[in-house]
Amino acid sequence: MSIDIETFETTPEADLRELSNPEKVLQFLLANDDRAFKATEIAARTDVNENSIHTVLSRLEKRELVRHKGDYWAIGDQDRIRSFDRYRRATERLNERYGVENKDEWRAHAAEDATTASNDDE
């Protein structure tokens, strides 16, 4: 699907990206918060691969963003979802402003701090 050049030029990059599979599932379940669905139906209605849907749902359940009973799945606590969405948006804004953090740099820095702390104890 194409977009016009004005939309391309004026829309923030984060708003132009495709939704991730978890975002697709959450968006679908939020829009249908009065119903519970089987995983296969969620996959079909969100275009998430059926081979991936159980992994996506399980990870969302661990974060308490969806609920599971029997073969059915439903949206989780909506206050928690709003809180998660605010965190995600804040992280995206910080990443746009300062760049994405490098995990390897953080680990190296943490190792340096641990070495310095143990040397200070001696």
Residues 1 and 49 placed together within one structural domain of the fold: yes
Alpha-carbon dihedral sign for residues 7, 85, 77, 53: positive
pLDDT per residue as tens digits for the range 6-36: 888 888 776 777 878 998 999 899 889 999 9
Alpha-carbon dihedral sign for residues 85, 90, 95, 96: positive
Residues 14 and 72 placed together within one structural domain of the fold: yes
- The string of DSSP codes covering 3-20 is --HHHHHHS-HHHHSPPP
Distances (CA, A) of 24 to 18, 31, 45, 95, 107: 9, 11, 9, 22, 32
- Helix/strand/coil for 88: helix
Residues 64 and 107 placed together within one structural domain of the fold: no
Confidence of residue 4 (pLDDT cuts 50, 70, 90): confident
Segments forming the whole domain that contains residue 71? 1-76
Confidence of residue 115 (pLDDT cuts 50, 70, 90): low
Name the more confident of 40 and 7: 40
pLDDT per residue as tens digits for the range 55-97: 999 999 998 899 999 999 999 987 777 777 777 778 778 778 8
Residues 69 and 26 placed together within one structural domain of the fold: yes
Residues 6 and 42 placed together within one structural domain of the fold: yes
CATH number at residue 15: 1.10.10.10
